[in-house]
């Protein structure tokens, strides 16, 4: 297996370190229920959802306008790349208001940190951080050649096209932070047995690993469940699998190299009904199906007009049943 990382170290000389590093992870929005230790029952949660339509402060609508207008996006003619970039900003800037939850301030303040983004997708997460922390090196790896081909004019960021089924092509203890979000390459069993151990292997002792994923929709209607179930089956035939975030804490806890006392799990609730942010999140989720419409219709043996009618029904169900989603972040520290 190729493990030469000389190409990482050959990035251009870093700029002089900033005197002050901006803090990235912030306190959760007051209108958000966000702790996995919460014992609130279903009725209480639904009451919270009903009163929480947009976590974005009313005084700052600029972020949504910039996101809708593609202000932050990397150039791409690929509609799915655009969707992934929209997804990034909706969840990072509006829902979580941060790119990560791990305590990384000291790592970035010291400078010279090496960060790995596993299945980096459009590269937008890495691009965001590489611009903010020019004294650290960011590496994105993806097994999709179309996604990994994006070039960024950033001296401290690099992409690598690599088959993740072959492991990660880096030596042990290489990175200070390993990040994975919305992973789709393998099923949960293979992820737990091969991908997770590889991410921990390349993580330095004392470094942090963070995993982020979305759980299945809550309060989903009949058509919504039917369409997403079919979409999962459609993707499964192509080797695409969405991980359930429930495997993250179990996976990290079972790893002997991770300090069990350092493991934290947190979530954010985002309704698909209500304000503009909620509508954008809903559109972004449904767009996964719409971008594959022709193939998906063939798979389901339905016409495109039937597909469009199903999408309309899904939107009606979302508003009627108060459908919402949860995104989870689970992170832990490698033993020293």
- The pLDDT confidence band at residue 245, using thresholds 50, 70 and 90, is confident
CA-to-CA distance for 326 and 212, rounded, in angstroms? 11
- pLDDT of 336 > 70? The answer is yes
For residue 189, the model assigns a pLDDT of 82
Cα Rg of the chain (Å, integer): 20
For residue 69, the model assigns a pLDDT of 52
Predicted model pTM: 0.79
Q: Are 175 and 204 in contact (CB under 8 A)?
A: yes
Of 29-33, 137-141, 235-239, 262-266, the one with minimum mean pLDDT is 29-33
For the residues of 212-272, what is the DSSP string, one character each? EEEPPPBS--HHHHHHHHHHHHHHHTTT--PPPTHHHHHHHHH-TTB-GGG-EEEEEEEES
Q: How many CA atoms lie within 13 A of 7 on its CB side?
A: 11
Could you tell me which of 318, 94, 91, 333 has the C-alpha nearest to residue 213? 91
- Using one digit for the tens of pLDDT, what is the confidence trace for 104-125? 999 999 999 999 999 998 888 9
* Burial annotation 122-131 (CB, 10 A radius, 16+ → b, else e): bbbbbbbbbe
- Using one digit for the tens of pLDDT, what is the confidence trace for 276-303? 899 999 999 999 999 999 999 999 999 9
Could you tell me which of 184, 62, 203, 65 has the C-alpha nearest to residue 121? 184
- Please name the residues in contact with 105: beta carbons below 8 A apart, sequence gap of 6 or more: 21, 23, 24
Q: How far is CA 213 from CA 28, 157, 180, 327, in A?
A: 17, 24, 9, 6
Helix or strand holding residue 85 (H, E):
helix 79-89
Token look-up 């951080």 returns 129
- pLDDT of 256 > 50? The answer is yes
Residue-range domains of the chain with CATH: 35-333 (3.40.50.150)
Reading the block at residue 319, the tokens are 């508003």
Q: How far is CA 4 from CA 41, 169, 170, 177, 197, in A?
A: 51, 7, 7, 19, 19
- The pLDDT confidence band at residue 13, using thresholds 50, 70 and 90, is very low
First to last CA, the chain: 26
For residue 302, the model assigns a pLDDT of 96
- pLDDT of 87 > 50? The answer is yes
Reading the block at residue 261, the tokens are 């006392």
Q: Are 210 and 146 in contact (CB under 8 A)?
A: no
Q: Of all residues in the chain, what percent carry a pLDDT higher than 90?
A: 54
Choose the most confident range, by mean pLDDT, from 30-34, 160-164, 177-181, 241-245.
Answer: 177-181
Report helix, strand and coil shares of the chain as percent, to nearest 5. Answer: 40, 15, 40
CA-to-CA distance for 130 and 127, rounded, in angstroms? 5
Mean pLDDT for 162-171 is: 92
- pLDDT of 213 > 60? The answer is yes
Q: How many CA atoms lie within 13 A of 260 on its CB side?
A: 6
């Amino acid at each position: 297996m190729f493990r030469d990382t000389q190409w990482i170290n050959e990035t251009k000389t870093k700029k002089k370190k900033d005197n002050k590093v901006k803090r990235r992870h912030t306190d959760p929005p007051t209108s958000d229920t966000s702790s996995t230790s919460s014992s609130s029952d279903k009725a209480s949660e639904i009451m919270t959802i009903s009163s929480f339509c947009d976590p974005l402060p009313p005084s700052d609508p600029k972020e949504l306008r910039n996101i809708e207008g593609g202000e932050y996006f990397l150039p791409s003619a690929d509609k799915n790349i655009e969707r992934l970039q929209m997804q990034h900003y909706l969840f990072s800037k509006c829902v979580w208001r941060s790119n990560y939850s791990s305590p990384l301030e000291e790592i970035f303040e010291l400078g010279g940190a090496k960060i790995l983004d596993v299945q980096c997708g459009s590269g937008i997460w890495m691009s965001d951080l590489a611009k903010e922390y020019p004294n650290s090196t960011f590496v994105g790896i993806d097994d999709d050649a179309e996604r990994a081909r994006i070039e960024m004019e950033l001296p401290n960021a690099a992409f690598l096209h690599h088959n993740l089924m072959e492991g990660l092509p880096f030596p042990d203890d290489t990175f200070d932070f390993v990040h994975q979000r919305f992973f789709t390459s393998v099923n949960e069993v293979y992820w737990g047995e091969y991908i997770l151990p590889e991410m921990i292997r390349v993580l330095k002792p004392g470094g942090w690993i963070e995993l982020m994923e979305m759980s299945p929709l809550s309060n989903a209607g009949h058509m919504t469940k039917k369409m997403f179930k079919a979409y999962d089956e459609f993707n499964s035939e192509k080797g695409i699998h969405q991980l359930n975030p429930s495997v993250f804490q179990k996976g990290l806890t079972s790893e002997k190299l991770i300090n069990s006392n350092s493991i934290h799990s947190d979530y954010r609730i985002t309704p698909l009904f209500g304000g503009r942010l909620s509508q954008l999140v809903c559109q972004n989720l449904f767009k996964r199906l719409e971008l594959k419409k022709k193939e998906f219709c063939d798979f389901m043996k339905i016409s495109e007009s039937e597909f469009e009618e199903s999408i309309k029904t899904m939107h009606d169900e979302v508003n009627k049943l108060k459908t919402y989603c949860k995104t989870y972040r689970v992170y832990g520290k490698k033993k020293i």
